[in-house]
C-alpha cells in the first residue's frame, strides 16, 4: 500500500473546462471529401468529432464511437467501414494527431465519391479552462479530491489535456509518477480507454475504482 500521507513537491490543482463549438466552413458529401477534411482540419475538429462521446451532453448511437463512423454508417450505409472507424482507440498514448493518422489510414484507401444522403459538417471545439477549487498535496487528499471533483474535471484531466494538448499521458498518471514514482498505479490508469464510456460520470467512476485498487 502506498504512503498516503507523504507530500508532493508540486500539488495537483484540479481544473475543468467548458467547450465552445465552432462551426467551420468545411463540408463533406462523399468519402473523398471526408478524408480531405480530416487531413486539413485543425486539432479541435478531430477532438470534437471523436472524443465528445465522453461528455454527457453529447450522446451517440451505441453502434458508433465517433461522428465519422456514425455518418459513414447512417448516410452512406457502409456498415463495414463504420465498424472500422469505430474501432479506432482513444486509449493512451493517443493524441489528436495519432487519431487523425488512424482515421486517414482507414478512410483513404476507400475514399470514393459515392454521394451521402446528408453532408458532414465539420465542427471544432475549443476548451475554456478554469480551476474548480480543489487541490491535493498527498495521495490521501488526491483520492478524496478525485472522488469529489465534478465529472467534467476528471474528463478534462484524463482526456482533454492528454489528447488535445499532445501530452500523450493523462494528468493523473503524470502526477503520480513525477511526484511519487508510482508507475504501477499510473499504468493502471493509462490502460483505461475513455471511448468505451459514453459520459463523464462513467469515466470518473472507473478512474476512482482504479485509483482505489492501486493505492489502498
How far is the CA of 195 from the CAs of 67, 114, 166, in angstroms? 12, 29, 17
pTM of the entire predicted model: 0.90
> Are 10 and 31 in a shared domain?
no
What is the tens place of the pLDDT at every residue in 64-108? 889 999 999 999 999 999 999 999 988 898 899 999 999 999 999
> Are 26 and 117 in a shared domain?
yes
What is the pLDDT at residue 57? 57
> Are 10 and 22 in a shared domain?
no
What is the pLDDT at residue 54? 84
Q: What is the mean pLDDT of residues 16-30?
A: 96
Count of domains for the chain: 2
> Are 112 and 192 in a shared domain?
no
> Are 114 and 83 in a shared domain?
yes
Residue 113 and residue 29: Cα distance in Å, rounded?
A: 8
Domain containing 39 equals 17-123
> Are 118 and 47 in a shared domain?
yes
Cell reading at 41:
482540419
Going by the DSSP 8-state scheme, the letter that residue 26 receives in this structure is E
Pick from 76, 106, 123: which residue ends a domain?
123
Cell reading at 154:
476528471
> Are 119 and 172 in a shared domain?
no
Q: Residue 211: pLDDT above 70?
A: yes
Pairing outcome for strands 7-28 and 120-138: antiparallel
Pick from 105, 123, 141: which residue ends a domain?
123
Is residue 123 within 8 Å of residue 23, measured between CB atoms?
yes
Amino acid at each position: 500500500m502506498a504512503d498516503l500521507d507523504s507530500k508532493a513537491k508540486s500539488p495537483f490543482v484540479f481544473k475543468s473546462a467548458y467547450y465552445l463549438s465552432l462551426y467551420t466552413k468545411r463540408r463533406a458529401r462523399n468519402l473523398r471529401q471526408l478524408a480531405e477534411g480530416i487531413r486539413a482540419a485543425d486539432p479541435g475538429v478531430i477532438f470534437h468529432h471523436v472524443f465528445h462521446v465522453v461528455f454527457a451532453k453529447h450522446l451517440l448511437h451505441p453502434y458508433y464511437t465517433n461522428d465519422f463512423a456514425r455518418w459513414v454508417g447512417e448516410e452512406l450505409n457502409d456498415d463495414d467501414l463504420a465498424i472500422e472507424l469505430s474501432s479506432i482507440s482513444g486509449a493512451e498514448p493517443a493524441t489528436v494527431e495519432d487519431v487523425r493518422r488512424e482515421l486517414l489510414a482507414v478512410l483513404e484507401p476507400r475514399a470514393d465519391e459515392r454521394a451521402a444522403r446528408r453532408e458532414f459538417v465539420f465542427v471544432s471545439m475549443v476548451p475554456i479552462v478554469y480551476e474548480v477549487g480543489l487541490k491535493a498535496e498527498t495521495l490521501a487528499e488526491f483520492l478524496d479530491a478525485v472522488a469529489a471533483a465534478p465529472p467534467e474535471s476528471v474528463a478534462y484531466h484524463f482526456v482533454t489535456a492528454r489528447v488535445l494538448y499532445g501530452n500523450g499521458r493523462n494528468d493523473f498518471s503524470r502526477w503520480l509518477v513525477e511526484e511519487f514514482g508510482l508507475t504501477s498505479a499510473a499504468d493502471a490508469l493509462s490502460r483505461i480507454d475513455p471511448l468505451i464510456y459514453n459520459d463523464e460520470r462513467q469515466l470518473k467512476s472507473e478512474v476512482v475504482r482504479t485509483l482505489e485498487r492501486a493505492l489502498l
